[in-house]
Chain A
Amino acid sequence: MIEIVNLVKRYKTVKALNGVSFRVENGEMFAYLGPNGSGKTTTIRILTGLTKPTAGDAYLNGCHFERDSLKAKRQCGLVPQVINLDMELTVRENLDLHGRLFQMTSEERRARTDALLEYVELDDQCDRLVNHLSGGMKRRVMVARALLHAPEILFLDEPTVGLDPTIRRRIWSLLKKIQQAGTTIFLTTHYIEEAEFLADRVAFLDFGNIVQLDTPDNLKARIGEWALDKMVDGHMHTQYFPSREGAQAFIDQQQGSFSLRRVNLEDAFLTLTGKKVTADGSVAQVSTDHEPTAALLATGPDGP
């Protein structure tokens, strides 16, 4: 279980976290979503003892994260956002040192290393220097390393960045599997379908505040059931409707071409962090403006 109470983190000029509180239950998969710079990594760094908070408390399976830090850390595994492997050592040496840091016996280390490397399809790479692996392979080593000591709480900060679709799905099933074995999982991602597929509950973070926290189904239900996309003057406009009939009635009154689809978590994310939800939450409009500015498009006087 993860419990954080009023966590505040201020850097010199930036307020990265603004009094965040929530609880993640045992065996829950919790996704933490938010735009760049919203404070996701900061939260994870505080919980794993890499950064000191300005104020607030956190408990990991009941252990206070600072007063009882060694005991808290023993239960946690971490996949940081930035790759931090020993480039001059082999894959196996990296994992072995990690196992030693977590006081695993040599049999445990060997058995777990073999099993995990096989799972992430790196068993044939285990004696290569990490420096010689591809970016995605390094990510997979990071995941294997974090799981090596069978942590009860697992923190993953954008663990599947740069992975190919096959291996990403493999990591997803691995996460589901270890969740079923009772591990509590705290995950950040910018791939919203990842959160939608994996998470029991999702928190939306914005400027260091939690703006929404609920199950993916409830979050989607807040903006409606059906989404209608339409291009207007090069802008994508999306409108949300509680029912298919309502959407159809709307289309009938309009001209042009629309595409109707079910609301997904990305819609909820854009709407709810864009704070464009209307009072009753039923029909909101968010303009997901993808048009580049004129300055970016300008090609100079000789351009087309």
Chain B
Amino acid sequence: MRGWFPIYLREMLILRRKLLRQIASMSVSPILYLIAFGLGMGSDITIHGRSYLEFLIPGLVAMTSMVQAFAIATEINVARFYWGIFEEFQASPLSDPAYVTGEALAGITRAILSVLVVILIAFLSGVRLSYNLFFWLAVILNSFLFASLAIGLAMVVKSHADQSLLTNFVITPMAFLGGTFFPLDKMPIWVQSILKLLPLTPASEAIRASAYGQTPPGFPYLILTVLGCTLFGLAIKLVKKARD
């Protein structure tokens, strides 16, 4: 694992250089969803006894942290296909686990940053939720999972264009169906059981329960941990295979 720090540091240097742009782009979609669904649907709707906005914000947290953690794949791809930096890593005495750790931590950092943006937006729209330890644990596990997935997929794709295809097929459906914008329990049972298989569903569940100040159920945390570690291991394998 030793040696992950330069990888992390590099991503942070790049992030810092375009921090304002990044924060602006991180805020666009939460604000749009907030306007479209939160204000558009009005304040009459309540879900589980809470206003729709209170329901929506944790969903946006789950979605944004997923999207931003997954976006590490784009950074890796640019570094790999456009600039060949990945070869600088491959030729240095850096173990594959260390590489994946550095990139995953960079993904988690981006995700946390974007969650802070959502929290700020929520605060400005007058929503008060509890951002406790369980909340952050769920955010970190969720972004760990999607950063690991992103690293693995970034090793498999053959071009930058493939990458956006994957985002379209993997991330966009999940963003809408993973318990983010509407409660799953209103769905037919068979749809529910399919949607429960999406990794974002337990994340939304855990994040929402903790944001409501409830003690969240343990099961979603278990799923996120197991799935995250599996994808992390897989990413290490795929990095090893990424030599032609």
Contact = CB atoms under 8 A, between A and B. Distances in A.
B244 interface: yes
Interface string B1-44: 00101100110011001100000000000000000000000000
Contact of A78 (B83, B91, B93): B91
Contacts of B90: 49-50
A89 B13 contact: yes
B48 interface: no
B50 interface: no
B183 to A, nearest CB: 42
A100 B5 contact: yes
Interface residues of A, number: 28
A231 interface: no
B133 to A, nearest CB: 32
Given A89-B13, A93-B13, A97-B10, A84 B87 contact: yes
A117 to B, nearest CB: 18
Nearest to B14: A88
A80 B87 CA distance: 9
A101 interface: yes
A87 B84 CA distance: 11
A74 B93 CA distance: 5
A51 B243 contact: yes
A52 interface: yes
B156 interface: no
Contacts of B84: 80, 82-84
A86 B3 CA distance: 19
B186 to A, nearest CB: 46
Interface in B88-124: 88-95
Interface in B114-150: none
Contacts of A247: none
Contact of B92 (A71, A82, A86, A101): A101
B85 interface: yes
Secondary structure at chain A's binding surface: helix, strand, loop or mixed? loop
B22 to A, nearest CB: 13
A101 B10 CA distance: 11
A103 interface: yes
B87 A50 contact: yes
B9 A100 contact: yes
A296 B88 CA distance: 41
A222 interface: no
A70 interface: yes
A98 interface: yes
A76 B244 contact: no
A88 B91 contact: no
A52 B244 contact: yes
A48 B13 contact: no
B83 A97 contact: no
A84 B95 CA distance: 20
Contacts of A52: 243-244
A85 interface: yes
A49 B91 contact: yes
Given A51-B243, A80-B84, A97-B6, 16 more contacts: A48-B91, A50-B243, A71-B93, A73-B93, A74-B93, A80-B91, A84-B85, A85-B85, A86-B79, A89-B17, A97-B9, A97-B13, A98-B92, A101-B93, A101-B94, A102-B93
Interface of A: 11, 48-52, 70-71, 73-74, 76, 78, 80, 82-89, 93, 97-98, 100-103
26 contacts: A49-B90, A49-B91, A50-B87, A50-B91, A50-B243, A51-B243, A52-B243, A52-B244, A70-B93, A73-B91, A74-B93, A84-B83, A86-B85, A88-B14, A88-B17, A88-B18, A89-B13, A89-B14, A89-B17, A97-B10, A97-B13, A100-B6, A101-B3, A101-B93, A101-B94, A103-B3
